[in-house]
Amino acid sequence: MWQYTFKRLLQGLITVWFIATATFLAMHSVPGDPISGERAATEAIRANLAARYGLDKPIGEQYVIYIGNFLKGDFGISYTQQNRQVNDIIREHFPVSATLGILAVLFAALGGVLWGALTAIYRNRLPDTVIMFLVILGISVPSFVFAALGQLALVNINNFFGFSVLPVAGWGTVRHMLVPSLVLGMGTMAYLTRLMRSSMLEIIHSDYVRTAKAKGLPAERVFLKHQLRNAILPVVTVLGPAIAAITTGGFVVELVFAIPGLGRYFVQAVQQLDYTVIMGTTVFYGAFLVFMVILVDLLYGWIDPRVRVQ
Amino acid sequence: MQEPISTEEGFTRSAIKQLAVLGASAVLIIVAVMYLLNFAASLTSTNVPGAAGAVDLENNEISIYLREDPPQLDTTRATDAVSGLVLGHLMEGLLRYDENFEIEPGLAERWEMDGTKATFWLREGLRWSNGEPITAHDFVFAWRTTLDPKVGSQYSFIFYPIKNAEAANTGTMPLESVGVRALDDRTLEVELEQPIAYLDKLVAFVTYYPISEKFYKSTNDRYGADAESLLYSGPFTMSSWVHGATLRMEKNPYYWDAENIPLDAINAAFITSDSNTLLNLYKDKRIALVDLTAEMLEGAMQQRWHLDRFMDGSVFYIEFNHRPGRLTANLNLRKALRYAQDDGELVDRVIKLPGYLPAKSVFPIWLRGVEGTFREEYPAPESEYNVELAREYLEKAKQELGISEFPPIVLLADTSPVATIASQYYQEVFKKNLGLEIVIDPQIFRQRLAKMSSGDFDLVLSGWGPDYNDPLTFADLFASWNLNNRGHFNNADLDAQVRIAQNSMDPKVRMDAFGEIQNILFDQVVFIGNYERGRVYATHPQVKGIVRRAIGAENDYTRAYIVPETTTP
């Protein structure tokens, strides 16, 4: 078990290094750089700025310096906000995105499992049809549409009641968290519902369940211990990539609900060609996702004894 | 006898009961996690209490939004509009613009210009927000720091009319030689390279604001990073700044004109650029002002919202690549392209954003002339939409260039929504009317600039925003020495006229020169005008006195005030 974990961690580190290198090369191969502005600067000033930020050195040297700093935990200073360290930006804004993401994953996972089980139990009857219709909507409709509709609904609700039931945008209290994380988790919840449904249906008709029922096991035990627990497995497998989708999908929700998360900095950094922030956020997200996937794999092994490595 | 319940149904019912229990526990888990996360968050960061709504009559505060987190509040390096907006409330310079766009005294109570020397006398008793006096030395320090080549400020060029400024900025002369000095604590003397007529307009610009040297050095390279690393000379101080989330400005008791500032605080409670979100916030009565898109306009008018309109100052146009060897360097081709399109159609039928006007000239409609507006006194030459004429010029161009068919022409553009539809419009129009193949090259802003600078384009959708309230900020755009002239247009007549406008002190002579420039730009088809940007916006009925301008802070709340609610709409 530990050997397996160690091997996966090592693989993860190599993946992260690869992500960093690929991003570095991609960044430097597009035209433009972070120090040129709309008001054109003279050659002398450009040269000064380039020297100050080390952009005048050959690419190979810049890369080595960058990796060196990165291993020391120093991601540098943002080019757009020249008095903010990238570490500060990540430290201040990631917790917000993480909160949003954790809640979204919780909504998606818990909701997906429960709705999926419900549709499987009521297979082909009215609840199943209704929920599956909603599921198709949930999978196909993009998150920014949900976000916009959700916000509009809030405005109308607040208007109708005459007081602020839930905040329309912003961040800072528990009430601000509800709708954005729901919107963010919606697509994944729909997807997991469908997955859970097919998984449950397969299991309901499987041999060991019929055996358990024939043995006369109480219904609750059959349902919980055998059906649900087995049906969850595919959902857990998918949870790793689902966390990835939710983490990176946070940008749209953050923009629409005016939430100070890291996703917005991530996207804006690319638009501004802010090298340090691009590298810092990409490597950070990359590392986060790689290790999330490893964690989920280990979790899977814990849930399903058949998968444990010898 | 009752029908026995089938085992299947019984099974289903028990499963549903269990699901219900699980569902309830799921809800409880989620609620618990939410409170836990919120608690954890409050331990590590400072949360500003949520907005009390757009208008708070009791506390005399309003809530507004910002399009983005201000990236740079260090006046020596600020370049963008949001930073400019915030700085316009937190700081002040020697002079400032009033609500009619005229220059009036700011921190300086009077000034005198005499040839190449200008003297500014500061008011008595000026203080920073920490109680220290504001002196002429603070201006000297700020200006020198901006010009320091090590600082590498993008706006250092705005000081170039000052003696030795350019030399100091390129490192060929020491900073002490720059023509600005403090004769005493309250007198600032500025020496110019040449006498210029627009110095008063220049010194109202953000880069000319003062900075306390003592404070600047005490922040250890973190000047401008957050609310504690700034010192305030203007109507408001920044009492808190949670990056990306909120920014709160409170009345500055040390400001010399504090008794004429009506509001006690301004909350920038939301930071986002999504126009739908902002509209929803406005409808939910969370912010006091919002810009409207075309779809919102009708609804807004029906609901009798309080609407206003202003020109935000910027002009957008198609710029050509005039470098020798490029197709677009040919005048007949440029004429063909201009006759083949109708700028009214772009604004009215394609872009359809309220407040936009077709750009008839590089000089926008709000610029002042000698007595009235510039465009009244020097009307822009009229172009016309004439497809036959366009095709004639295209033939002439083909002959001159010695080609039988034109190769694909590259149209470089930003990825913003307006640029996207504008580029698609031109692609279609030039194809339909002239049979030309236009290849759109969408690039993010910085990449677009880089390609312009390296000449990697034929046509480009570009624009310019004014720095100061004088036509010169637009007139010199295509002067051959201007680094912003990325199309490399080079015309000796234009250059000569720009020099006249720069150096003459006579308003009529200068305006005549601008008129000439306008004609030359038209005759030589240096660009094709797209639109002048304006906006239609709604304001909360209880907030009055908001000023929006083409120059300086785009939204000015310094003179805004709240009126009590009335029963009549």
- For residues A113 and A116, give the distance between their C-alpha atoms in angstroms, rounded to a whole number: 5
Q: Would you call A26 an interface residue with chain B, using a CB distance cutoff of 8 Å?
A: no
pLDDT digits (tens, 9 = 90+) for B421-450: 999 999 999 999 999 999 999 998 888 999
Question: How many helices (H) and strands (E) would you count in chain B?
Answer: 17, 22
Are the beta carbons of A167 and B69 separated by less than 8 Å?
no
For residue B106, the model assigns a pLDDT of: 94
For residue B452, the model assigns a pLDDT of: 93
Chain B residues near residue A97 by CB distance under 8 angstroms: none
Compute and round to an integer the Cα radius of gyration of chain B. Answer: 28
- The percent of residues above 70 in pLDDT, for chain A, comes to 96
Q: Would you call A124 an interface residue with chain B, using a CB distance cutoff of 8 Å?
A: no
Q: Is B149 exposed, middle or buried (0-12, 13-18, 19+ CB in 10 A)?
A: buried
- Residues 67-106 on A with a CB inside 8 Å of B are 80-84, 89, 92-93, 95-96, 99, 102-103, 106
Q: CB B395: neighbour CB atoms within 10 A?
A: 11
- The percent of residues above 90 in pLDDT, for chain B, comes to 74
Are the beta carbons of A38 and B449 separated by less than 8 Å?
yes
Mean pLDDT of B7-13: 73
For residue B446, the model assigns a pLDDT of: 86
For residue B1, the model assigns a pLDDT of: 46
For residue B518, the model assigns a pLDDT of: 96
Mean pLDDT of B402-410: 93
Q: 3-class SS at B82?
A: helix
Are the beta carbons of B11 and A219 separated by less than 8 Å?
yes
Name which residue leads in pLDDT, A89 or B5.
A89
- Residues 117-156 on B with a CB inside 8 Å of A are 149-150, 152, 154-156
Name which residue leads in pLDDT, B233 or B13.
B233
In sequence order, which ranges of B203-356 are alpha helices (DSSP H)? 213-218, 275-283, 294-302, 331-339, 343-345
Are the beta carbons of B74 and A82 separated by less than 8 Å?
yes
Residue B96 — pLDDT band, cuts 50, 70, 90? very high
Mean pLDDT of A89-109: 90
- For residues A133 and A136, give the distance between their C-alpha atoms in angstroms, rounded to a whole number: 5
Instruction: Name residue, tokens 């998150």.
Output: A143
Chain B residues near residue A164 by CB distance under 8 angstroms: 284
Across B125-264, the runs of DSSP E, i.e. the strands, are 180-184, 187-191, 236-242, 246-251
Min Cα separation A231/chain B (Å): 14
Chain B residues near residue A155 by CB distance under 8 angstroms: 280, 283-284
Chain A residues near residue B48 by CB distance under 8 angstroms: 172
Q: Is A197 exposed, middle or buried (0-12, 13-18, 19+ CB in 10 A)?
A: buried
User: CA nearest A88: which of A77, A80, A98, A79?
Assistant: A77
User: CA nearest B562: which of B537, B545, B538?
Assistant: B545
Q: Is the pLDDT of residue A310 over 60?
A: no
For residue B16, the model assigns a pLDDT of: 82
For residue B51, the model assigns a pLDDT of: 55
Q: With contact defined as beta carbons under 8 Å apart, do B560 and B544 qualify? A: yes
Residue A220 — pLDDT band, cuts 50, 70, 90? low
- The per-residue pLDDT of chain B, averaged, comes to 91
Min Cα separation A144/chain B (Å): 11
For residue A121, the model assigns a pLDDT of: 83
Note the residue count of chain B: 569
- For residues B424 and B439, give the distance between their C-alpha atoms in angstroms, rounded to a whole number: 10
Q: Which of these ranges, A75-79, A293-297, B132-136, B167-171, has the smallest mean pLDDT?
A: A293-297
Chain B residues near residue A154 by CB distance under 8 angstroms: 280, 284
Q: Is the pLDDT of residue A200 over 90?
A: no
Q: Is the pLDDT of residue B50 over 70?
A: no
Min Cα separation B150/chain A (Å): 6
- Picking from B29, B244, B449, the nearest residue to A264 by CB comes out as B244
Residue B542 — pLDDT band, cuts 50, 70, 90? very high
Q: With contact defined as beta carbons under 8 Å apart, do B48 and B63 qualify? A: no
- Picking from B19, B71, B72, the nearest residue to A114 by CB comes out as B19
Q: Is the pLDDT of residue A188 over 80?
A: yes
Three state DSSP letters for B113-145: EECCEEEEEECCCCECCCCCECCHHHHHHHHHH
pLDDT digits (tens, 9 = 90+) for B330-368: 999 999 999 999 988 999 999 888 899 999 999 999 999
Residue A124 — pLDDT band, cuts 50, 70, 90? confident
Sign of the CA dihedral with B237 first, then B465, B545, and B69 last: negative
- Residues 439-458 on B with a CB inside 8 Å of A are 443-451, 453-454, 456
Chain B residues near residue A209 by CB distance under 8 angstroms: none
Q: Give every CB contact of residue B150 below 8 A, 6+ residues apart in sequence.
A: A48, A52
- The per-residue pLDDT of chain A, averaged, comes to 86
- Picking from B49, B170, B229, the nearest residue to A42 by CB comes out as B170
Q: Would you call A37 an interface residue with chain B, using a CB distance cutoff of 8 Å?
A: yes
| Exposure string over A225-252, b if 16+ CB within 10 A, otherwise e | ebbbebbbbbbbbbbbebbbbbbbbbbb
Q: Is the pLDDT of residue B223 over 50?
A: yes
Residue A45 — pLDDT band, cuts 50, 70, 90? confident
Q: What is the pTM of this model?
A: 0.89
Residue A249 — pLDDT band, cuts 50, 70, 90? confident
For residue A219, the model assigns a pLDDT of: 67
- For residues A242 and A240, give the distance between their C-alpha atoms in angstroms, rounded to a whole number: 5
Q: Would you call B284 an interface residue with chain A, using a CB distance cutoff of 8 Å?
A: yes
Are the beta carbons of A258 and B445 separated by less than 8 Å?
no
Q: Would you call B258 an interface residue with chain A, using a CB distance cutoff of 8 Å?
A: no
Q: Give every CB contact of residue B153 below 8 A, 6+ residues apart in sequence.
A: B76, B77, B146, B147, B207
- Two tokens at A103? 């809640």
Chain B residues near residue A114 by CB distance under 8 angstroms: 19, 22-23, 26
Mean pLDDT of B164-169: 93
Phi-psi region of A32 (alpha: psi -120 to 50; beta: other; left: phi over 0): left
Chain A residues near residue B272 by CB distance under 8 angstroms: 169, 255-258
Q: Is B113 exposed, middle or buried (0-12, 13-18, 19+ CB in 10 A)?
A: middle
